[in-house]
Amino acid sequence: MGSDDEAARPRVGTNLASMLTLSEVGIDFDRANAARIYDYFLGGAHNFASDRAQAARIVAANPDMPRVCRVNRDYLGRVVRWCVEAGIDQFLDLGSGVPTVGNVHEIALRLAPGARIAYVDFEPVAVQHAREITEGLDGVSVTQADLRQPEEVLRAPTVAGLLDFTRPVAVLAIAVLHFIDDDVPAIFGRYREALSPGSVLAINHGSSDQDDPVLAEAVRNIERGYRGSATPVVLRDRRQIRDLLTGFELVPPGLVDPVHWPAADPEVEPIGAYAGIGRLP
């Protein structure tokens, strides 16, 4: 049997484990984090005992949570493909999380070999693993920064030196904004100011503002499951989520549940979120 300290250590690959120490990257082993919880639900190995314990509480509140994460991931893939087909080959992925199957760079570079992808996250495990798997890839960068500080993000050499903001850029904020208890419309207003016409903002935000009361309660149960973590959930209604895209023109079909973007799929149960793409005129 290992010690309690060993049990609390992350489930990580050998190379990453050798790089991570509390003193080097300031990881909090004791408080669960949304990026690592998400990794756990997607079957990843870059999470701690605290994340797995919090995940168990979330699943106890809403057993559908692993499917919710997979739906969010599938939506991200469809967004990236839509952007490339629309002629956008630059991506700023905010709150990118722990990289897993179906990464932005995997999809974008396969469809557009000259694509550029700038990943941004503040969680040390997510950042370190992203750097590990993208090392040596042209057109891909990883930045440790807080998306709530747009100036810091946009000034970072790994962003400003990679993306050409005189051309359209796709800003991705997928399944991350409901972890931010700030004036998000104001934050994204500052990102919008840096973008050229034709750029897009893609979002996906959980919400209990649902016509189906059972689905609404399921979303509230997820919110309850995240309480006590370092990244509690902040639910917003449909109007508030639409406000996140102020200044952008909604691309059809507008704000819909992720399973229904870009086309309705009556065979798949909704997850209780609003997703969509706004395009800068």
Contact by Cβ (8 Å): 143, 109: no
Percentage with pLDDT > 90 across the chain:
77
Residue 80 pLDDT grade (very low, low, confident, very high; cuts 50, 70, 90): very high
Residue 6 pLDDT grade (very low, low, confident, very high; cuts 50, 70, 90): very low
Q: How many residues make up the chain in this entry? A: 281
State how far the alpha carbon of 92 is from the alpha carbons of 124, 164, 200, in Å.
18, 11, 10
- Give the pLDDT confidence score for residue 25 in this predicted structure: 52
Is the bond leading into 157 cis (omega within 30 degrees of zero)? no
Rounded CA-CA distance 177/165 in Å is: 23
The residue among 126 and 52 whose pLDDT is bigger is 52
Residue 26 pLDDT grade (very low, low, confident, very high; cuts 50, 70, 90): low
Contact by Cβ (8 Å): 220, 240: no
Token pair of 119 as six digits: 């990943």
CATH number assigned to the domain covering 65-279: 3.40.50.150
Rounded CA-CA distance 136/134 in Å is: 6
CA-based torsion, 268, 223, 121, 170: positive or negative = positive
CB neighbourhood size of 217 (10 A) = 13
Average pLDDT over residues 169-179: 96
Residue 21 pLDDT grade (very low, low, confident, very high; cuts 50, 70, 90): very low
CATH 3.40.50.150 residue ranges of the chain are 65-279
Q: Record the pTM.
A: 0.88
Which residue type, as a one-letter code, is found at position 157?
P
Averaged pLDDT score across all residues of the chain: 90
Residues near 50 by beta carbon (within 8 Å), at least 6 away in sequence: 8, 29, 30, 31, 32
- Give the pLDDT confidence score for residue 249 in this predicted structure: 97
